[in-house]
Amino acid sequence: MRIPILPTALALACYAHLTCALLTLQTMRNLTVITDECREHIVDGSETLGEVDEMARALMGDQRLLRGGNEDEHGMEVEDSRPWHEGAPNLCLIPDFALRFLLIIRFRQTIAASLHLLCSFLLAELEKPLDLTLEPPEQNCTVTTTQYHAFLYSTANFLLPIQERQMKYRWTSQSAVFENLGWFQALWASRKTNSQDRSFIEQQIELYKEGSCFEKNEVLRRGVEVVEWLNDLIDMFA
Ligand SMILES: *[C@@H]1O[C@H](CO)[C@@H](O)[C@H](O)[C@H]1NC(C)=O
Ligand SMILES: *[C@@H]1O[C@H](CO)[C@@H](O)[C@H](O)[C@H]1NC(C)=O
């Protein structure tokens, strides 16, 4: 049987596996940028919430002034810097409560939308057929590993505020946040979520195999860590 002679080692590896690594180093750089942008949407949202906290405190202060008089000895009961959901319902706080409730819904929508955006981008990248002429492989391991760690750092930085919000607001498995986290987890871990039949982790392994810049199984191990974190996060939804 005639063995076809292929121009490069990478092409040979591709031939042997029938499919190739579909990601490029540029894809990973682009993913890092978009992950950071998605995180900013989420964090900006919480700054808005912080501003409303300030407004609410100012308003509550005004209400205390208005009440004044015989309420003096119980005045401190109204003065309350606890988060809204910890105190007993208080009629004075209803407008503030409603405002915060709406903001928290919007906040949930922002997280779900950011996850959705990131997943859509990731899926599009995972589906792209490889064009070997697109980019020469990076030869400098310092550059490759630095960029890989920057990508992992962005991913962790993106998941952390989501985890913090989930601990605080306890959204349920009916929420769009839950649904999109499930999609994100599946893209990382499952072959079934894209038509190239390789999970994101497998594609990363394939991509980084070439330069031998990493310790044995490092890319697999770090990928599994992300998926385990996602699993724990998903388990937090009642
Ligand atoms: C990365 O992003 C740049 C700028 O948006 C784009 O021109 C380029 O095609 C992208 N590359 C890949 C491999 O996605
Ligand atoms: C690899 O890249 C780093 C950072 O750009 C540079 O300092 C180093 O000299 C490069 N190494 C080689 C072998 O080219």
Residues 105-123 have pLDDT tens digits of 888 899 999 999 999 999 9
20 Cα: distance to centroid of ligand 1 (angstroms): 19
CA 30 – ligand 1 centroid, Å: 6
* Ligand 2 mean position, distance from CA 140 (Å): 6
By most ligand atoms within 8 Å of CB, the mutation choice from 26, 127, 130, 131 for ligand 1 is 26
Choose among 46, 52, 196: nearest CA to 114. 46
pLDDT for res 13: 45
Average confidence (pLDDT) over 51-58: 61
User: Closest residue (by CA) to atom 14 of ligand 2?
Assistant: 140
**Distant-in-sequence, close-in-space partners of 40: CB < 8 Å, separation ≥ 6:** none
pTM: predicted TM-score of the whole model, two decimal places: 0.73
Closest residue by CA, ligand 1 atom 2? 30
Query: 217 Cβ partners below 8 Å, 6+ apart?
Result: none
Averaged pLDDT score across all residues of the chain: 77
Q: How far is CA 171 from the centre of its chain?
A: 16
DSSP assigned state of 72: G
SS3 of residue 167 by DSSP? helix
Tokens (6 digits) for 144: 């490759």
Looking at 64-68, 84-88, 96-100, which range is the least confident one? 64-68
Q: How many CB atoms lie within 10 A of CB 42?
A: 20
Cα gap 9→210, rounded to integer Å? 9
Domain ranges of the chain: 8-43+111-234
In the predicted model, is pLDDT for residue 71 greater than 60? no
Looking at the CA of residue 141, tell me the nearest atom of ligand 2. 1
Tokens of 131: 């064009």
pLDDT at 100: 77
pLDDT in tens, 160-216: 999 999 998 899 999 999 999 999 999 999 999 888 888 999 999 988 887 789 999
Residue 86 main-chain phi, psi, to 5 deg:
-90, -30
Predicted pLDDT of residue 6: 37
52: confidence class by pLDDT, cuts 50, 70, 90 = low
**pLDDT class of 133 with cuts at 50, 70, 90:** low
Q: What is the Å distance from ligand 1's center to 124 Cα?
A: 12
Contact 14, 197 (CB under 8 A): no
Lowest mean pLDDT across 92-96, 146-150, 153-157, 185-189: 92-96
Please tell me the distance from the alpha carbon of residue 111 to that of residue 80, in angstroms, as a whole number. 28
